[in-house]
Copies of this chain bind each other. A is one copy, B any other.
């Protein structure tokens, strides 16, 4: 499957219309570089977790990390896919997070945040990814590791 086809499919599945939670949190998925997908989230008054410090809620952090890991898991499945295109929706609908670890490293301060991910284990059944969240001055806010079912 070529890069443009992959982009189209991932954009569709993670679109705000279909994965409505991504809209709720304001995720913008950027697939310009298919080997290094990003999710950008702007800070806004609905994402506050700590009133004293006006910082990002831990749940917004775990959500964006889980999602960017899922994007990378899906891209890794699509790159290897050689089956019939009609089998694809069902196959993709089954990709899911098995478990997730998040380490909160710094307070989530910033006007926007960027989440990235890369594969550390690319299996036929499970894919293990590491994720990072940085703020608008590139400070590392949180990291995560997720195990995704892919086959």
Residue of B nearest to A107 (CB): B96
Give the residues in chain B near A18, CB-CB below 8 Å: 48, 51
Total contacting residues, chain A, CB less than 8 A: 54
A2 within 8 A of B: no
Given the complex, which residues of B lie within 8 Å of A46, measured CB to CB? Answer: 20-21, 23-24
A64 interfacial contact with B, CB 8 Å = yes
With A19-B51, A47-B24, A67-B59 as contacts: A101 and B100 at CB distance below 8 Å: yes
Q: Is the interface of A mostly helix, strand, loop or mixed?
A: mixed
Q: Is A35 an interface residue (CB 8 A)?
A: no
Q: Are B52 and A63 in contact (CB-based, < 8 A)?
A: no
Shortest CB-to-CB span from A60 to chain B, Å, is 6
Q: How many copies does the complex hold?
A: 4
- Say yes or no: B104 contacts A97, CB within 8 Å: yes
**Chain A stretch 93-151: residues in CB contact (< 8 A) with chain B:** 93, 96-106, 120-121, 123, 125-126, 128, 130, 140, 143, 145, 147, 149, 151
Interface residues of A in 53-83 (CB under 8 A from B): 53, 57-60, 62-64, 66-67, 70
Chain B's nearest CB lies how many Å from the CB of A141? 11
